[in-house]
Amino acid sequence: MQRGRRDSVAFTVVVAALVLLGGILMAFVVALSGAPGSLALAALVAAVPVGPLIGCFMWLDRYEPEPRNLLVAGLLWGAFAATGAALVFQGIGLAGGASERDSLAVVAPVTEELTKGAFLMLLLWWRRHELDGVLDGIVYAGMVGVGFAYTENILYLAAAYDGTDGLGPGGTTALTTTFVVRCLISPFAHPFFTAFIGIGVGLAIASRRTVVRVLAPIAGFAIAALLHGVWNSSTLSGGGFFVVYGTLMFPVFLAVVAFAVYRRRSERPLLVRALQDAADRGLLPATDIPWLVDLRARRHARRWARHHGGPLAERGMRDYQAAAIELGYLHHRYLRGTAPADFSARGLEHVEELRRIRPYISFPGQVVPTR
């Protein structure tokens, strides 16, 4: 586990440093804009879709909640590191002779998906054990996309209000139009594009074949950049945006949503099979499984624990459930033949945690242990 701790520290240091650098660069961009009042207004308006979008990804993440610090890191990466790096790369592209049209249709999609997807690749490299499959990849990609969209929307909304976007005199009408298009009609755009990178990374994690592990993230990036390029290109013609939106983007978006919901629904039978096999091996009591694989049963067990044992009992129940779920997903990867290299050490940690807590908790209908 020593290597795992080193990888975790390396991930934290690299992500924190790049987020800080990106934040400094974006602060410099804000200072150059010379309109702090407009940016403050834009920041408030751009925040409108953020909460609902995060809520959607948190809903997808309920069976095996990812560490909150990593989800926040994804948001910050998208908001600062990815946006800052994308601005630098796009500036290099323009300085190298790329036209405004080429920058919008090619350079921006490639650089933005590259910088957003870098967070997922860092997870894959240093925090691989946090990724259990496609659904985790979608959740992390979505968080990065939400953060990126928020910062980008601030810049677009402020430019619309100030009239510096070249589309009109500005004011509240321009701000409202931009808000409707970017925050109401297409708030999902950046999370949607980057979700394909997340799917690619998730497929790489879940596959036993080396070719899939290598090509799936690349294919996910290519699809993300392609769709992003088509989306950006549609804004170059008058009615093209709504044609592309209605005939391509929204249907594909609905397909991705349906796929994500399907994967979420498959989490329960996955856990049942994995935990039942773990119970058959004596790693946890089989009678606990119904209280671990059903979300409503989990909540009921925590409420029951709090009612009979107070906050400490609820905390014990929560910790027990978390350790059991982690064991379940780890055991699932073992059964599939895609277990990580440190599978045994991590599995032992989870089993020891379960055995440490189990004597002090009980599930509804069981005898409450005496302390």
pLDDT digits (tens, 9 = 90+) for 70-86: 999 999 999 999 999 99
Tokens 């509240």 appear where?
Answer: 172
Q: Using one digit for the tens of pLDDT, what is the confidence trace for 169-189?
A: 778 888 899 999 899 998 999
Helix-strand-coil percent breakdown of the chain, rounded to 5? 80, 0, 20
Residue 362, helix vs strand vs coil: coil
State the pLDDT at residue 356: 96
Tokens 């596959």 appear where?
Answer: 207
Q: Using one digit for the tens of pLDDT, what is the confidence trace for 274-319?
A: 999 999 999 999 999 999 999 999 999 999 999 988 999 999 999 9
State the pLDDT at residue 335: 92
**Rounded Cα distance, 176 and 160, in Å:** 9
Q: Nearest Cα to 158, choosing from 46, 25, 53?
A: 46
Q: Using one digit for the tens of pLDDT, what is the confidence trace for 194-237?
A: 999 999 999 999 888 899 999 999 999 999 999 999 999 988 77
Question: Where do the domains of the chain lie?
Answer: 2-265, 268-360
369 has a pLDDT exceeding 60? no
State the pLDDT at residue 123: 94
Contact by Cβ (8 Å): 47, 150: yes
Residue 371: pLDDT band with limits 50, 70, 90: very low
Q: What is the mean pLDDT of residues 319-333?
A: 95
Residue 98: pLDDT band with limits 50, 70, 90: confident
Q: Using one digit for the tens of pLDDT, what is the confidence trace for 25-51?
A: 988 887 776 666 788 889 999 999 999
pLDDT-wise least confident of 28-42, 262-276, 339-353? 28-42
**Rounded Cα distance, 310 and 154, in Å:** 45
**Rounded Cα distance, 106 and 149, in Å:** 18
DSSP for residue 338: -
State the pLDDT at residue 38: 82
State the pLDDT at residue 116: 97
